[in-house]
């Protein structure tokens, strides 16, 4: 678990970043401020640097659709992440 702090201020506050679990192939846990950050995490893990982010999300959505017949939206990172959560490919674990 990653803990962020505001150092150097009086009455510092500590904020926990949520931990997410990506369930594609092997499970992969990562810390992020929002579920939408799954897109760059997936791009890095899949070594996908040639296509644009939108193309990557579209191609991933097509593959996920064929795999589990779910509905995936990819017009934004947030919509894509919510679709993944709804279809059981991404979850908040902490």
Helix (H, G, I), strand (E, B) or coil at 30: strand
The pLDDT-based confidence of 82 (bands split at 50, 70, 90) is: very high
Mean pLDDT is lowest, of 12-16, 31-35, 39-43, for 12-16
Domain coordinates in residue numbering, the chain: 34-94
End-to-end CA distance of the chain: 8
User: Does residue 4 surpass a pLDDT of 80?
Assistant: no
List b or e across 24-59, with b for residues whose CB sees 16 or more CB atoms inside 10 angstroms: beeeeebbbeebebbbebbbeeeeeeeeeeeebbbe
Three-state DSSP class for residue 62: helix
The pTM score is: 0.79
Q: What is the pLDDT of residue 86?
A: 97
The pLDDT of residue 62 is 94
pLDDT of residue 1: 47
DSSP reduced 3-state for 20: strand
Between 14 and 88, the higher pLDDT residue: 88
Q: For position 70, what pLDDT does the model report?
A: 93
């Amino acid at each position: 678990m990653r803990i962020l702090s505001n150092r150097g201020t009086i009455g510092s506050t500590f904020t926990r970043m949520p931990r997410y679990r990506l369930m594609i192939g092997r499970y992969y846990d990562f810390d992020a401020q929002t579920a939408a950050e799954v897109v760059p995490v997936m791009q890095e893990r899949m070594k996908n640097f040639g296509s644009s982010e939108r193309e990557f999300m579209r191609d991933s959505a097509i593959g996920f659709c064929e795999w589990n017949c779910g509905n995936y939206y990819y017009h934004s990172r947030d919509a894509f992440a919510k679709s993944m959560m709804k279809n059981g490919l991404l979850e908040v674990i902490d």
